[in-house]
Amino acid sequence: MGSEGPPAVTIHVTGFKKFHGVAENPTETIVGNLKEYMKKKGMPKGVILGSCSVLETAGQGAVAPLYQTFQSSIKSKDSESSSPGRIIWIHFGVNSGATRFAIEHQAVNEATFRCPDELGWKPQKVPIIPSDGEISRVRESSFTCKAKVLGRVKLFAIDLEVSELLIPFFLITMFTVSNYAIGFLERFVVKNTVLGSNAVVRVSSSHCTQTTLPVEDLTKILTKKGYEVMASDDAGRFVCNYVYYHSLRFADENGTKSLFVHVPLFLTIDEETQMQFAASLLEVLASLY
């Protein structure tokens, strides 16, 4: 009585089918075999493995069935008589040029496909969700300073072109892309630049949304377990980013969590190691959430 502990975490997993240049997608194998693999290995305490879905590598071809699964998982959660279950979505995608796993911090509201998806769609510089705004917003501030233009700094989705500044690097990294962050940078630049000659601050940003899961902690723990893994701020602009953006928005609106993980080809990290990584990821997520 009263010592049952927190409710179990339900984890839904998706992967992708083949696409241009990748005839065999490792995430199709990982997701297709995960339930059987976990049955043999043993499910981590406090984890329920929900749906394991393999999606078309296509924008709308992936998102339409994904939303159906999203909705069914929410209805299932709402129908439970006990306290609402905790839900995490893990999306696996392949990066054929990668040499290690990458846990993605964020997705950007931009679709720029380097090749047509599996339904022949090849958008270029279009917003994934138009109501979230255009893919890029540019604001300029002119002021006077004694400095020469040093170049450009690109951090996360912020592109900052400024004159010589006295801005510690860590101060920029503290801020995510938002109008508040952009405004702060402009004010900080003006306040901390020696007056004298003309200069312009130009800050542009793409709307992005970030996971609320602790990416850095996940990365550290999985690294200690022996996996080659990194945290990433760039999920690309192809179908992986497209799906992740939709998933993060849905998670934010419905009180769930979402995470995207890029994996290498099996030629780079073999299938058994990748299956072990997926199992370890489930375990670590349950321990942190």
Q: What is the DSSP string of the chain?
A: -----SPPEEEEEEEE--BTTBSS-HHHHHHHHHHHHHHHH-PPTTEEEEEEEEE-SSHHHHHHHHHHHHHHHHHHHHT-SSSPPEEEEEEEEE-TT-SSEEEE-EEES-B--SS--TTS----SB-SSGGG--S-EEEEEEEEES--EEEEEEETTEEEEEES----HHHHHT--SSHHHHHHHHHHHHHTS-SSEEEEEEEEE--EEE--S-HHHHHHHHHHTT--EEEES---SSHHHHHHHHHHHHHHHHT-EEEEEEE--TTTS-HHHHHHHHHHHHHHHHHH-
| Percent of the residues in the chain that have a pLDDT greater than 90, as a whole number | 63
pLDDT 10s digits, 87-99:
999 999 999 999 9
User: Mean pLDDT over all residues of the chain?
Assistant: 79
pLDDT at 208: 87
pLDDT reading at 112 higher than 90: yes
pLDDT 10s digits, 44-76:
999 999 999 999 999 999 999 999 989 887 776
pLDDT at 109: 96
User: pLDDT band at residue 110, thresholds of 50, 70 and 90?
Assistant: very high
Where does residue 36 rank: exposed (0-12), middle (13-18), buried (19+ CB within 10 A)? Answer: exposed
Give the mean pLDDT of 243-251: 96
pLDDT at 4: 63
pLDDT 10s digits, 156-213:
444 444 434 444 443 343 444 444 444 444 444 434 444 344 444 444 456 889 999 9
Give the mean pLDDT of 262-270: 98
Give the span between the Cα atoms of 16 and 25, in whole angstroms: 7
Give the mean pLDDT of 137-161: 38
User: pLDDT band at residue 30, thresholds of 50, 70 and 90?
Assistant: very high
pLDDT reading at 215 higher than 80: yes
Answer for the pair 258, 67: CB distance below 8 angstroms, yes or no: no
Residues 6 or more apart in contact with residue 1 via CB below 8 angstroms:
none
Measure the CA dihedral 35/37/42/43, to 10°.
Answer: -40
Lowest mean pLDDT among 104-118, 141-155, 204-218: 141-155
pLDDT reading at 102 higher than 90: yes
Give the mean pLDDT of 18-28: 95
User: pLDDT band at residue 5, thresholds of 50, 70 and 90?
Assistant: low
Give the span between the Cα atoms of 249 and 254, in whole angstroms: 9
Residue 176 has a CB neighbour count (10 Å cut-off) of: 16
Answer for the pair 35, 49: CB distance below 8 angstroms, yes or no: yes
pLDDT at 170: 37
Answer for the pair 26, 266: CB distance below 8 angstroms, yes or no: yes
Bridge partners of 86? 9
Give the span between the Cα atoms of 212 and 206, in whole angstroms: 19
pTM of the model: 0.76
Domains and CATH numbers, the chain: 9-127+208-288 (3.40.630.20), 137-205 (no CATH)
pLDDT at 73: 79
Give the mean pLDDT of 23-30: 97
pLDDT at 206: 62
